Structure 1
Amino acid sequence: MAKAFASQGDMTQKKISFTEVGEGLYAFTAEGDPNSGVIIGDESVMIIEAQATPRLAKKVIECVRTVTDKPISHVVLTHYHAVRVLGASAYGADQIIMSDTARSMVVERGQEDWDSEFQRFPRLFEGHESIPGLTWPTTTFSESMTVYLGNRRVDIMHLGRAHTAGDAVIWVPDQEVMFTGDIVEYHSACYCGDGHFSDWDETLGNIASFQPRSIAPGRGDALVGPEMVAAAIRNTSDFVMSTYAAAARVAARGGSLKEAWDAVRAACDPKFADYAIYEHCLPFNVARAYDEARGLDTPRIWTAERDLKMWEDLQG
């Protein structure tokens, strides 16, 4: 391999922010690392996204304890990726919630994803010895479900395919705030290696139709206020569609994966090169865009071995 993945050399600890996005609602962010969300109800707390390890989850819990001593009763996982789910055991929650499709993806590719991400992102898996195994939901839903944290209503919904086939969003109607997982990012590259480019823009439109006052995105700063929300949705759409259009043009003429890589770089580097994890995401995004443009609706499973082979091919 000519050089390591960008993420393998990223060992710098990130600054944590804990931002109120609505009354009793918080976004845990860390300079482009995976975000978590916090919803405080009358008697208990819901966590959105568990982090990659129990060690990282404890950092979320430390922030929660600065604002409430209520017990954590629910953990909602917006999709199946290891960096989002493997810290779930730290919260001691009664319920762990995923969509039916996300659970099926744990069955199909959960261990492979863990192995792949562990290789790609060593910093996020510091303390991995404390992970008890794959995270399994106690509760699943098909299209939507509602949880009441006392009087506080929380709607958990699948609004369409985007970052994965099983993405969930969490809507808190009393504050008009949404937790979107990796469907929406802020000044951070979208990871599209398991994505559905042709559906993503419509799913963003479904999110926008709620007219959220604030959004806690999957990565990047909390989006407080309608203007910041709208800008992040536009930028996420531009990132996804710019990536796909460039790769699809190459695929349509029978070009190679390496040619698609060059085309995506030419289209996206001028606009997005300074985004967090851009270099890490790019090879996986190009590979998936190239596959989808050639008719592969279901993303191929990433394995540690496939990661390295793809990267070697792109390095020429």
Structure 2
Amino acid sequence: MTKGFASANDMEEKTISFTQVGEGLYAFTAEGDPNTGVIIGDDSVMIVEAQATPRLARKVIECVRSVTDKPISHLVLTHYHAVRVLGASAYGAREIIMSDTAAAMVEERGQEDWDSEFDRFPRLFQGHEEIPGLTRPTTTFSDRMTVYLGKRRVDIMTLGRAHTAGDAVIWVPDQEVMFTGDIVEYHSACYCGDGHFGDWEETLMNIAAFEPKAIAPGRGDALVGEEMVAKAIASTADFVNSTYKPIAKVVARGGSLKEAWDACRAECDPKFSDYAIYEHCLPFNVARAYDEARGIDTPRVWTAQRDKEMWAALQG
């Protein structure tokens, strides 16, 4: 039976959790939907990831208001994907921060990504009429920058390519907590359609080197405690490698994209088929891994048309 496209059939509302991951630090999670982080400083609040629409952003704001009445001053976007950034206007933050590379990707492929993701995630884009346009940063950085929320120090940095070429992480040293965006997932498939398989594990090791006591991942439950952190980093690396390695072998012998698909499923289905958005991600991941294994370093731009063509070829 033909599967519904991406997450088009997933219209059931998810249960929201708002979990404390450190003093004044929270993770907004929703059963595998995109997560948002909250960092409360002395005088104001920093949000990490905006959600897909102002409607969803207001759900985050409701949770923030349950723990603080301080104004939201900063919004950090770990990368350019539409489901992460298009709710930005709801927060009224005076600074919107992205890496230089992520900001460039907004200009290069932001509209195409919006059009593509709109069809992939119809539930997340309910209320899309409120989105004022592409979200662009007010502040960018190359390798690292530091923001002080009063006395609370927040380090924003790039640690390597992974989910995209422009991924940023946010480190709160006084609590040894990291917000990783989609570099780390927990019991949720990694979306690798714009990823860099060859770099991803090293970037995960760069995260592990901080020895975080907690992580707010891109999707899935908040990771509190060093054991949970290590488990999630290891499972993320396993997912990425289990996707890429069988596909690289197919490419090396001159095999087809469909053969790569079959090889990836044989490796990944037994381990990851119960992960959130697994079937959604799989065709995009296979297509990108097949390209990377053939030496295509820069991920090709996904468009709504390319999405459908690829889906029909693999998942149809």
Q: TM-score range by the shorter chain?
A: over 0.9
Structure 2 distance, partners of 1:214, 1:151, is 21
Q: Give the structure 2 partner of residue 116 of structure 1.
A: 116
Q: Give the structure 1 partner of residue 74 of structure 2.
A: 74
Residue-by-residue CA offset, 1:221-263 (whole Å, 9 max, x unaligned):
0000000000000000000000000111111111111111111
More moved, 3-12 vs 191-200: 3-12
Gaps of 5+ in 1: none
Q: Give the structure 1 partner of residue 95 of structure 2.
A: 95
CA contact (8 A) 2:183 2:218 kept: yes
Structure 1 distance, partners of 2:288, 2:69, is 43
The Cα of 1:5 is off from its aligned counterpart by 1.6
1:208 aligns with 2:208: yes
Structure 2 distance, partners of 1:238, 1:300, is 24
The Cα of 1:4 is off from its aligned counterpart by 2.5
Residue-by-residue CA offset, 1:2-52 (whole Å, 9 max, x unaligned):
442241100010000000000000000000000000000000000000000
Q: Give the structure 1 partner of residue 233 of structure 2.
A: 233
Residue-by-residue CA offset, 1:197-231 (whole Å, 9 max, x unaligned):
00000000000000000000000000000000000
Relative to the length of structure 2, the TM-score reads 0.99
Q: Give the structure 2 partner of residue 142 of structure 1.
A: 142
Structure 1 residue ranges, 4+ long, deviating more than 2 angstroms after superposition: 1-4
Paired letter, 2:77: L
Relative to the length of structure 1, the TM-score reads 0.99
Q: Give the structure 1 partner of residue 107 of structure 2.
A: 107
Gaps of 5+ in 2: none
Paired letter, 2:286: V
The Cα of 1:298 is off from its aligned counterpart by 0.2
Q: Give the structure 1 partner of residue 311 of structure 2.
A: 311
Paired letter, 1:94: R
Structure 2 distance, partners of 1:2, 1:252, is 30
The Cα of 1:315 is off from its aligned counterpart by 4.3
Residue-by-residue CA offset, 1:80-104 (whole Å, 9 max, x unaligned):
0000000000000000000000000
Secondary structure at 1:8 match in 2 = coil
Structure 2 distance, partners of 1:302, 1:173, is 36
Alignment of 1:163-202 (within 5 A): 163-202=163-202
Paired letter, 1:62: E
CA contact (8 A) 2:51 2:84 kept: yes
Q: Give the structure 1 partner of residue 254 of structure 2.
A: 254
Structure 1 distance, partners of 2:66, 2:32, is 22
Q: Give the structure 2 partner of residue 20 of structure 1.
A: 20
Q: CA RMSD in A?
A: 0.9
Paired letter, 2:112: E
CA contact (8 A) 2:283 2:315 kept: no
Secondary structure at 1:211 match in 2 = coil
Residue-by-residue CA offset, 1:150-172 (whole Å, 9 max, x unaligned):
00000000000000000000000
1:294 aligns with 2:291: no
Secondary structure at 1:129 match in 2 = helix
The Cα of 1:56 is off from its aligned counterpart by 0.1
Paired letter, 2:49: E
